[in-house]
């Protein structure tokens, strides 16, 4: 058995063993990978680094799916990408907005934003 088959079988088993839908597994995987990337890189979730790690992991997953199935399935791939990236992206954007507001509040009165 090669790496592609092992990976594909592990993903299928994860869905079967948990009873979770493929969409839900993508949502959880995106958030889990982002948090692990934050811990490993020590970069804030407000920076693009943890989000980019999620993007790379999702790209890897979709390439492995393509190799396992023998063809691209655009509808399935598109939904997988959206489910994996949506909440990590929203979290990053929300934290960036929060950080910008905190910086703005700390500025002395009368100082123009740069």
Quote the CA–CA distance of 91 and 13 in Å, as a whole number: 29
Mean pLDDT of 2-31: 94
- In the block, residue with structure tokens 């959880």: 28
What's the pLDDT score for residue 108?
80
Quote the distance between the C-alpha of residue 9 and its chain's center. Answer: 21
Give me the phi and psi of 57, to 5 degrees please.
-65, -40
Domain boundaries, the chain: 1-9+37-101
pLDDT tens digits for range 17-45: 999 999 999 999 999 999 999 999 999 99
What's the pLDDT score for residue 107?
82
Report the C-alpha dihedral over residues 22, 26, 27, 30, rounded to 10 degrees: 170
Nearest to 65 by CA among 32, 74, 18: 74
Quote the CA–CA distance of 25 and 4 in Å, as a whole number: 19
Judge whether residue 114 has pLDDT over 60: no
| 7 band by pLDDT with thresholds 50, 70 and 90 | very high
pTM for the model stands at 0.88
């Amino acid at each position: 058995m090669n790496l592609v088959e092992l990976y594909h079988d592990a993903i299928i088993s994860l869905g079967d063993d948990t009873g979770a839908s493929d969409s839900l597994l993508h949502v959880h995987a995106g958030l889990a990978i982002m948090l692990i990337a934050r811990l490993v890189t020590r970069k804030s979730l407000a920076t693009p680094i943890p989000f980019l790690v999620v993007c790379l992991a999702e790209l890897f997953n979709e390439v492995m799916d393509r190799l396992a199935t023998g063809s691209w399935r655009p509808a399935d791939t598109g939904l997988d990408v959206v489910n994996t990236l949506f909440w990590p992206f929203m979290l990053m954007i929300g934290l960036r907005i929060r950080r910008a507001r905190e910086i703005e509040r700390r500025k002395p009165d009368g100082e123009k934003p740069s």
